[in-house]
Amino acid sequence: MFDDDDATDIHPLFYGAPKTTEFKKLRKRIVQNVREAVEQYGMVEPGARWLVCLSGGKDSYTLLAILYELKWRGLLPVDLLACNLDQGQPGFPATVLPEFLQRMGVPHRIEYQDTYSIVVDKVPQGRTYCALCSRLRRGNLYRIAREEGCSAVVLGHHRDDILETFFMNLFHGGRLATMPPKLVNEEGDLFLYRPLAHVAEADCEKFARAMQYPIIPCDLCGSQDGLQRQQVKQILDGWEKNSPGRRQVMFRALTNIRPSHMLDPKIFDFLGLQRDLSEKTPNDIPDLR
C-alpha cells in the first residue's frame, strides 16, 4: 500500500512530494511509527474529534500531514481540526499558517491571545520563558478544544523531546519522568496525545523540509541562550555521535521499566517482599558460578 505510486499525493498536504526512494522510505517509516504509537497507547476513539496543534514548526507540520495520511488509509477514524494559537510574539508572521491551511483545504481555527506580553512581564530578567509560556498556551488550547467539541488535544512532541525531558527531570528535577504519549488533563475532560512519540526529530526535519512547508521558528524561547533543554540536547547529540543509535536504545528503556529494580517504594512493595522458604532440592537452586 505504501509503495503505490498512484497514491503518492493523497492529500494537498502531499502535493509535490519527492518521488525518490529515500523520501518514500522516510515517509513510510514515519507513518509506521505514528501508527504504532496511536495503537500502542490506545489513542483512537471512533467518531472522536482531535484538536491538532500547529505551531508552524517542522514537527507540527509533520504531525498534521501524517495524521491525514493515516486518516486517508482508514487507520484513523477521527475528525481533525488544525489549530494555531498566535501568542502575540513580535514579528510573528500571522498570515503564513492561515494561508497555508486554507490552500491545503485543512479545517482550522486561528486563535489570537497575547500571552507573550504576560510572559515577558511576569518572568524575571535572565530566566527562561518556557514554563509559563507552556502553561498559558496549554490553558488556551484546552479551552479551544472544549469550544470546538474536541475530545483530545494533539501535540507534535517527538521521541527526542521525550528523551530530553526525561534527562531534564533527571538532572534538574530529581525525578524519573517525561512527556507521556497519552494523558488526561487535570480537569479530567480531555485527552492529550503525542502521536510522534516514536518518531525521531531528524526524520521530522527531513520530511518537513523535503515537502517545503513554510516553517516558522520560535523566536520567543529559541532566542534565549543557555536553556536547560539546549544543554541536554547537546549532551545527547554527543552521545549519538560517539555511539550511533544511542537515542533509540535510551528511548526503548523508557518503555521497559522494571519497578523492582528501581528504588521507589511507592511503585514496588519492598516492605512486603518475602523470601521463599519452601524446601528446595539441589536441582532447584541455580548455579551462579
Residues forming the annotated binding site?
A: 130, 133, 221
**Which positions make up the binding site for [4Fe-4S] cluster?**
130, 133, 221
Handedness of CA 112, 115, 118, 124 (dihedral sign): negative
Cα gap 112→234, rounded to integer Å? 34
Rounded to the nearest 5 percent, the helix, strand and coil shares of the chain are 45, 10, 45
What stretch of H or E contains 289? none
Residue 111 phi, psi (nearest 5): -120, 130
Q: Which three cell numbers stand for residue 72?
A: 486517508
What single string gives the DSSP state of each residue in 179-248? --SEEE-TTSS-EEE-TTTTS-HHHHHHHHHHTT------TTTTT-TT-HHHHHHHHHHHHHHHSTTHHH
Task: Determine the residue type at 178.
Answer: T
Cα gap 74→156, rounded to integer Å? 21
Cα gap 189→65, rounded to integer Å? 27
Give yes or no for a contact between 151 and 49, defined as CB atoms under 8 angstroms apart.
yes
Give yes or no for a contact between 194 and 179, defined as CB atoms under 8 angstroms apart.
yes
Cα gap 174→93, rounded to integer Å? 39
